Chains A and B, each alone.
Chain A
Amino acid sequence: SAVISQKPSRDICQRGTSLTIQCQVDSQVTMMFWYRQQPGQSLTLIATANQGSEATYESGFVIDKFPISRPNLTFSTLTVSNMSPEDSSIYLCSVEDKSGYEQFFGPGTRLTVL
């Protein structure tokens, strides 16, 4: 299994500002995933981040709004740019285990945009 930490755990931000969320894993992993979970909703995949290459974004998500860095095999960041109240969500990072059958999740970052 993998142990994943995220910072910050929660934040309250003003409209128009940006927030960078950090995700740290206790082991080296190839693929990291960023999800959004809006209040009362299921998870929506934002992008897949592989070390050494550009992140792959899902439909409806763009790099200008959600830039991702993946500088090494244990760390990634997601920035939520030019925030609006609609960006209020829980943001989760996850990693895939070596078998490819299971994902482990971080505790999430609860973002509120005023």
Chain B
Amino acid sequence: GNSVTQMEGPVTLSEEAFLTINCTYTATGYPSLFWYVQYPGEGLQLLLKATKADDKGSNKGFEATYRKETTSFHLEKGSVQVSDSAVYFCALDSNYQLIWGAGTKLIIKP
């Protein structure tokens, strides 16, 4: 069946460091891929998405590229800020239902 695997956290970085959170998926066909973010005490928000191979989603300095050949959708940011501290979820759309990764907690230290 369809599944999403993302790197375990917590990931702890210093401010202005480069961020990569790995996400790989298993799916039949060509699902849409998403990154959602959950800031402390807040609800889930869509961060970015990509609907087909080689698409790059971007938002708030974050980027992720839909790589069909490696079945990956890694999240990257060139320079993280303390305000980026949150839990990040990778997800894929399977028949209009979202399949979720386990979430990666990101901690940014000043």
Question: Footprint of B on A, CB under 8 Å?
Answer: 31, 33, 41-45, 48, 92, 94, 96, 100-108
Given A42-B89, A42-B101, A105 and B44 contact (CB-CB distance below 8 Å): yes
CA distance A41 to B102 in the complex (A): 6
Interface string of B31-54 (1 = CB under 8 A from A): 010101000001111100101000
Q: Is the interface of A mostly helix, strand, loop or mixed?
A: strand
Given A42-B101, A42-B102, A102 and B96 contact (CB-CB distance below 8 Å): no
A103 contacts B51, CB within 8 Å? no
How many pairs of residues, A versus B, come closer than 8 Å at their CB atoms? 40
CA distance A108 to B93 in the complex (A): 21
Answer whether residue B73 sits at the interface, using C-beta atoms and an 8 A cutoff.
no
Task: Provide a sorted-by-A list of 17 A–B residue pairs whose CB atoms are within 8 angstroms.
Answer: A41-B102, A41-B103, A42-B101, A42-B102, A43-B44, A43-B98, A43-B100, A45-B97, A92-B43, A94-B44, A101-B32, A103-B46, A105-B36, A105-B45, A107-B42, A107-B43, A108-B43
Question: Footprint of A on B, CB under 8 Å?
Answer: 32, 34, 36, 42-46, 49, 51, 89, 93, 96-98, 100-103
In the assembled complex, how far is the CB of residue A67 from the closest CB belonging to chain B, in whole angstroms? 20
CA distance A92 to B64 in the complex (A): 26
CA distance A103 to B51 in the complex (A): 14
Cross-chain contact of B103 among A42, A92, A96, A108 (Cβ < 8 A): A42
Query: What chain A residues lie within 8 Å of B93 (beta carbons)?
Result: 101
In the assembled complex, how far is the CB of residue A68 from the closest CB belonging to chain B, in whole angstroms? 16
CA distance A4 to B75 in the complex (A): 27
CA distance A96 to B46 in the complex (A): 12
Specify which of B36, B97, B102, B103 lies most central, judged by the most chain A CB atoms within 10 Å of its CB: B97
Query: What chain A residues lie within 8 Å of B89 (beta carbons)?
Result: 42-43
Query: What chain B residues lie within 8 Å of A48 (beta carbons)?
Result: 97
